[in-house]
Amino acid sequence: MKIRRYSGSARVPLERRAWPDAVIERAPRWLSTDLRDGNQSLAEPMTPARKLMMFDLLVGMGYKEIEVGFPAASRDDHDFVRMLVERDLIPDDVRVSVLVQARDELIERTVASLEGARRATIHLYAATSPQFRDLVFGMSRDACKDLAVQGARLVMKYAERTLDGCDLGFQFSPEHFNDTEPDFSLEVCEAVMDVWQPEAGREIILNFPATVERATPNVFADQIEWMHRNLSRREHVCLSVHPHNDRGTGVAAAELAVMAGADRIEGCLFGNGERAGNVCLVTLGLNLSTQGVDPGIDFSDLDRVRRTVEHCTGMPVHPRHPYGGDLVYTAFSGSHQDAIRKGFDAAEREAERTGTGPADQPWRVPYLPLDPRDVGRTHEAVVRINSQSGKGGLAYVMSTRHGLTLPRDLQIDFARRIQAVADAEGGEIPPDRVMEVFRREYVLDRVPDGTTGRGVPVAAARGTVTLHVDTGHAGAARRDDVAVYAEYRVDGACHWGAGIERDVQAAALAAVRAAVRRAGPDPARARGDAEEKGRHGRRGAGRALRVKAGR
Ligand SMILES: CC(=O)SCCNC(=O)CCNC(=O)[C@H](O)C(C)(C)COP(=O)(O)OP(=O)(O)OC[C@H]1O[C@@H](n2cnc3c(N)ncnc32)[C@H](O)[C@@H]1OP(=O)(O)O
Ligand SMILES: CC(C)C(=O)C(=O)O
């Protein structure tokens, strides 16, 4: 592979930077550009119907600023804007924006597309980086600045003519800001501000894109802090950032930018967008939420959000995508599963102790970034079994999926058997298969009289039987079934059996018979003793009834 350095990220001479010590204590303003930057990156851009579905989703989630297209680009983009305006589909508390280049005829058409809108923002952009000036525009710095200034003037000219009565906002982006000399970005922005004249009640949005992410996120943070410190009329400027994810650090860049003074972030759901995507709004929002900061966006049904995004973009969300991927709340590895189970148990105990619900406590469960229920998932799939799993995970599946709380030594015994199945069969062992193996290993088949407790001869003579009565309902069978586990120790070995029956006595007998049967064909004397002691079985959390079976 050839190693070539990109020539051109612009570093700023920042001294005594403040952003490293900053803490984000409130959410920035969000702008969703799913319908513009997200849409322009699709092989098949969204139809107006899909755009509307995405728009409704964004509005429903609580986004208040939505870039709805590039009306001069295509008929679909233009028609969609007209549809929103003419059908009055934009809620009063939502501001839509449209993007345009600094080109006269495009600006005229773009402004015209908004005719009749009550509130809207025109977003003008012009690239400012030396590479763009040299390679694409063939312009000097002054000519490039002029392009932006002329663009701003044209927006105002056409808006005055066409958008009477519209609460008009204005946004300017020096495209490739992250590659642009900082003093030149500042010069262009100041010149554009001189045209728009921001003041109280007339903000300007200055949006700084990392059009192609080229450097570590600290470099972007420095650039933003430098702009934040040096822009004039700062109180009337909404300082916005627009990170891309080419180096995979779009989220970090956005967060550090907020620490450095940014007020607003532009991005897309699940990081759709040009090349490696725009910064992901879902990750940013839920990152805040897990720090205890309200993002102001509703993520409570994240699977529905994901399905809608997948439908509209025609692209699947990766199973490992932060917060929204299929597998991000699932552990296969044993030690993770064990810690998760203990974390859930501790939360329940704490809830009981304090008389609160588990959801009211701070989230402390290891290996899970948040409570899956907070984003509309369940706890069912947090543990899945394969060859990497251990007894803790198995106990979790048995308890949550089948209602059986296995004693620790039985968990160990069962884990060995499941491991053998996993090694032999490979792949995942779904919960029903786990139960099938449990029944095969520990539960006697039902006999013609309908129970496992009678009619099967018990042959046991020596050893001890300890009965463990399960207090949970045995979801594996009927809701009101009782499970009893028999731990039969004989000749230095331990044999487990389980009984799942309507009442505790029948379950105890069945468990003893199963354990004795598993011990092999030997002793014949345990039967009477075990049946006698089983009759005294009691239900109770964690209670083990010791029964001497044989002498
Ligand atoms: C970083 C971003 O995401 S920016 C947004 C990019 N999005 C899009 O491009 C999607 C929508 N775009 C389009 O549909 C088309 O490109 C249109 C309608 C805007 C323009 O179409 P066309 O003029 O036919 O073609 P094209 O895009 O190739 O034009 C490029 C010209 O625009 C110029 N240009 C590029 N950006 C800008 C800008 N911000 N302001 C002014 N001129 C610009 C180029 O220098 C080039 O000029 P030239 O014709 O003198 O060489
Ligand atoms: C137009 C600007 C904001 C943009 O999309 C980019 O630079 O990525």
pLDDT tens digits in sequence order for the chain, 551 residues long: 889 888 766 788 899 999 999 999 999 999 999 999 999 999 999 999 999 999 999 999 999 999 999 999 999 999 999 999 999 999 999 999 999 999 999 999 999 999 999 999 999 999 999 999 999 999 999 999 999 999 999 999 999 999 999 999 999 999 999 999 999 999 999 999 999 999 999 999 999 999 999 999 999 999 999 999 999 999 999 999 999 999 999 999 999 999 999 999 999 999 999 999 999 999 999 999 999 999 999 999 999 999 999 999 999 999 999 999 999 999 999 999 999 999 999 999 999 999 998 788 899 999 999 999 999 999 989 999 999 999 999 999 999 999 999 999 999 999 999 999 999 999 999 999 999 999 999 998 754 444 454 444 454 447 899 999 998 655 555 567 899 999 999 999 999 999 999 999 999 999 999 999 888 765 444 444 444 344 333 333 334 445 544 32
Which 8-state DSSP code applies to residue 199?
Answer: B
Q: Which atom of ligand 2 is nearest to the CA of 278?
A: 8
Q: Coil, strand, or helix at residue 56?
A: helix
Q: Does the Cβ of 209 fall within 6 Å of ligand 2?
A: yes
Ligand nearest to the CA of 175: 2
Measure 106 CA to ligand 1 centroid, in angstroms: 10
Name the β-bridge partners of 123. 99, 171
Q: What is the ipTM of this complex?
A: 0.98
Question: Has 244 been labeled as part of a binding site?
Answer: yes
Residue type, 248: G
Measure 15 CA to ligand 2 centroid, in angstroms: 28
Counting ligand 1 atoms within 8 A of each CB, the residue from 101, 129, 274 with the most, and so the one to mutate, is 101
Measure 143 CA to ligand 1 centroid, in angstroms: 17
Residue nearest to atom 34 of ligand 1 (CA): 101
Measure 50 CA to ligand 2 centroid, in angstroms: 22
DSSP secondary structure of 214-230:
-S-HHHHHHHHHHHHHH
Query: What is the reported pLDDT for 357?
Result: 84
Ligand nearest to the CA of 250: 2
Residue nearest to atom 15 of ligand 1 (CA): 73
Q: Does the Cβ of 125 fall within 6 Å of ligand 1?
A: yes
Residue nearest to atom 45 of ligand 1 (CA): 137
HEC string for 110-161: HHHHCCCCCEEEEEEEEECCHHHHHHHHCCCHHHHHHHHHHHHHHHHHHHHH
User: Of 80, 62, 148, 75, which Cα lies nearest the Cα of 117?
Assistant: 80
Residue nearest to atom 6 of ligand 2 (CA): 211
The order of strands in the sheet holding 482-490 is 493-501, 482-490, 464-470, 544-548
Measure 149 CA to ligand 1 centroid, in angstroms: 17
Q: Which atom of ligand 1 is nearest to the CA of 103?
A: 41
Query: What is the reported pLDDT for 313?
Result: 98
Q: Does the Cβ of 103 fall within 6 Å of ligand 1?
A: yes
Query: What is the reported pLDDT for 475?
Result: 52
Which parts of 167-235 fold into alpha helices (H)?
Answer: 182-196, 217-230
Please calculate the CA angle 166-172-177 and round it to the nearest 5 degrees.
Answer: 165
Ligand nearest to the CA of 139: 1
- pTM of the full structure: 0.91
Query: What is the reported pLDDT for 361?
Result: 86
Are 406 and 414 in contact by the 8 Å Cβ rule? The answer is yes
Give the separation between CA 291 and CA 288, rounded to whole angstroms: 5
Residue nearest to atom 7 of ligand 2 (CA): 211
Query: What is the reported pLDDT for 61?
Result: 99
Give the separation between CA 343 and CA 321, rounded to whole angstroms: 24
Distances in Å between the Cα of 89 and the Cα atoms of 53, 85, 94, 178, 193 are 12, 7, 10, 36, 31
Residue type, 86: E
Residue type, 485: Y
Give the separation between CA 131 and CA 309, rounded to whole angstroms: 34
Ligand nearest to the CA of 77: 1
Q: Which atom of ligand 2 is nearest to the CA of 274?
A: 8
Distances in Å between the Cα of 276 and the Cα atoms of 252, 304, 313 are 15, 23, 15
Q: Does the Cβ of 211 fall within 6 Å of ligand 1?
A: yes
Measure 318 CA to ligand 2 centroid, in angstroms: 24
Tokens of 296: 């102001």
Q: Which atom of ligand 2 is nearest to the CA of 176?
A: 7
Are 316 and 324 in contact by the 8 Å Cβ rule? The answer is no
Residue nearest to atom 5 of ligand 2 (CA): 37
Query: What is the reported pLDDT for 521?
Result: 64
Q: Does the Cβ of 125 fall within 6 Å of ligand 2?
A: yes
Residue nearest to atom 8 of ligand 2 (CA): 211
Are 190 and 225 in contact by the 8 Å Cβ rule? The answer is no
Q: Does the Cβ of 37 fall within 6 Å of ligand 2?
A: yes
Q: Does the Cβ of 72 fall within 6 Å of ligand 1?
A: yes
Ligand nearest to the CA of 138: 1
Quote the distance between the C-alpha of residue 469 and its chain's center: 39
Are 499 and 453 in contact by the 8 Å Cβ rule? The answer is yes
Give the separation between CA 385 and CA 121, rounded to whole angstroms: 52
Q: Does the Cβ of 128 fall within 6 Å of ligand 2?
A: no
Query: What is the reported pLDDT for 503?
Result: 92
Query: What is the reported pLDDT for 6?
Result: 81
Measure 175 CA to ligand 2 centroid, in angstroms: 6
Question: Has 176 been labeled as part of a binding site?
Answer: no
Q: State phi, psi for 32 to the nearest 5 degrees.
A: -90, 125
